[in-house]
Structure 1
Amino acid sequence: MTTHALAGVGLFVSGAAFSQVLALGIAAWRVVRRRRQVVRALGPPAPDPSGTGPSCGS
């Protein structure tokens, strides 16, 4: 394989990796944004009635 072909493959792979990172970042941002919209509309979640939640101190 020539240097030119290797450079082309490298650019293709790095471009694909960048696209995946960008897509995952946008998806995570949308999840956080949606969660904030739900909390804003409904208020914070109710406390765990069993008392075994992470804020229980145990």
Structure 2
Amino acid sequence: EQTLNQILVEMDGFDTDTNVIVMAATNRPDILDPALLRPGRFDRRVVLDLPDL
């Protein structure tokens, strides 16, 4: 929980006119805290399929 809170604090500290790109990845989107997914936090989602070897 401390890690989540720190990520939220850091992301809220960015100015909207600053060119900062934050990239994140998870294999468990079903357990992400809704606070991380609020508008303005992560604006794009890229879903990748499993590789078919």
* TM-score normalised by length of structure 2: 0.29
* TM-score normalised by length of structure 1: 0.26
Higher relative CO (Cα under 8 Å, sequence separation at least 6) belongs to: 2
Query: Radius of gyration: which is bigger?
Result: 1
